[in-house]
Homo-oligomer: A and B are copies of this chain.
Amino acid sequence: MKLRELGEDRLLAQLFPDLPRTKSVLIGAGDDCALVKFRTAANFLVLKTDCVVERVHFSSRTSALDVGWKAMMRPLSDFAAMSAVPEFALVTLIVPGTRSTSWVRQLYRGLKRAAARFNVAIVGGETSSTPGPAAIAVTIAGFVEKKRRVLRSGGKAGDDLFVTGRLGGALRQKHLRFIPRIEESRWLTKNFHIHAMIDVSDGLGADLPRLARASKVGFEIERARLPLSPGCKIDNATSDGEDYELLFAISPRESKRLEKSWGKKFPKLQLTRIGKLDQPSPIDYHPLPGGYVHFQ
A: residues with CB less than 8 A from B are 1-4, 6, 8, 11-12, 14-16, 18-22, 24-25, 27-29, 33-34, 36, 38-43, 45, 47-53, 55-57, 87-88, 90-92, 94-101, 104-105, 108, 112, 115-116, 119-133, 135, 137, 139, 141, 143, 294-296
Contacts and interface: CB of A to CB of B under 8 A. Distances in A.
Contacts of A22: 87, 119, 121
B99 A25 contact: no
A56 B132 CA distance: 10
A53 B130 contact: yes
Contacts of A28: 121-124
Given A16-B125, A36-B141, 5 more contacts: A3-B97, A25-B88, A28-B124, A56-B129, A56-B130
Contacts of A87: 22, 24, 36, 38
Contacts of A19: 112, 121-123, 125
Nearest to A142: B38
9 contacts: A12-B127, A15-B104, A28-B124, A29-B124, A34-B88, A39-B43, A41-B41, A51-B126, A56-B131
Interface secondary structure of A, over-half rule: mixed
Contact of A130 (B18, B34, B135): B135
Contacts of A55: 130-131
B141 A141 contact: yes
A128 B132 CA distance: 14
Copies per complex? 2
Contacts of A143: 38-39
B41 A135 contact: no
A115 B29 CA distance: 14
Contacts of A120: 20
B133 A132 contact: yes
A34 B294 contact: no
Contact of A36 (B27, B33, B88, B129): B88
Given A87-B36, A90-B139, A99-B3, A49 B11 contact: no
Contact of A4 (B2, B48, B97): B97
A127 B8 contact: yes
A210 to B, nearest CB: 14
B36 A123 contact: yes
For A24, A36, A87, A91, the residue with the greatest tally of chain B CB atoms inside 10 Å of its CB is A87
Contacts of A296: 97
Nearest to A75: B126
A42 B38 CA distance: 10
A272 to B, nearest CB: 29
B47 A88 contact: yes
Contacts of A132: 130-133
Contacts of A40: 40-43
